[in-house]
Structure 1
């Protein structure tokens, strides 16, 4: 059982990344924020988790992956009516921000992800979660 901060429920994060090293690095950073982490290797696995009824507070989604890209998965997830989950698009590509935002992502961060960017995104989600629990 993951340790929880002052009785708050831990945040459920989905990391969608086909590169093992990048996935591990991001997961390590997320553990500092008490996140409960699930991994997916591509956009299809990401969409399948939602089809199985899984719920997440935040998704960190890479752009270029085999089988289904990040933006394709974002379009499908939003089409399922999943509007509460915060979706963060990630990529080192120059055009990635436009692609992710037009697909329905909330935020875009360039790779490698800066810890300060990560912290502010996580804080925003935690605050939103606290406000909806009241």
Structure 2
């Protein structure tokens, strides 16, 4: 009995604070919208490190369609440049449906004009991609407070 107890506690490689982070975030629903498979995979892995299993789609129309059928998300990571429907159009559509989820514009450019165009569409934040653990932490703290 003691051997089993000791083995289970030593097999846990997570720190207590990491367990708290995962527990706090596990009920958050996140949508990643990006046409780049490398960025989708990177953001998926990054979010999973925070205890979140995101829903992932490849363009803005797919994201809008999810809201049309009644899905809801706490956080949306929205790429700017995508085929079918870009992130600016999708953000405008989502906001036009009365959706108040946190939308984070994610762009290849650090130009203020591009970020301003995204802000005008209705994003809450706009960052250059790929996102970093620090930025994800900032967003999750904002959502959890």
Both structures adopt the same fold (TM-score exceeding 0.5): yes
SS in 1 for 2:53: strand
Alignment of 1:1-134 (within 5 A): 5=23, 10-83=27-100, 85-93=101-109, 94=111, 95-127=113-145
Structure with greater strand share of residues: 1
Contact persistence 2:44–2:53 (CA under 8 A): no
Contact persistence 1:10–1:36 (CA under 8 A): no
Q: CA RMSD in A?
A: 1.7
Q: What is the deviation of 1:13?
A: 0.2
Q: What is the deviation of 1:15?
A: 0.1
Which structure has the bigger radius of gyration? Answer: 2
* Cross-structure match for 1:131: none
Q: Number of residue pairs matched?
A: 123
SS in 2 for 1:89: strand
SS in 2 for 1:5: helix
Once the two structures are superposed, residues 55-97 of structure 1 have per-residue CA deviations (whole angstroms, 9 ceiling, x without a partner) of 00000000000000001000000000002x0000001122321
Distance between the aligned counterparts of 1:9 and 1:19, measured in 2? 25
TM-score (normalised: structure 1): 0.86
Q: Which runs of 5+ in 1 are unaligned?
A: 128-134
User: Which stretch has the larger CA shift, 69-78 or 107-116?
Assistant: 107-116
Contact persistence 1:11–1:34 (CA under 8 A): no
Q: What is the deviation of 1:102?
A: 0.3
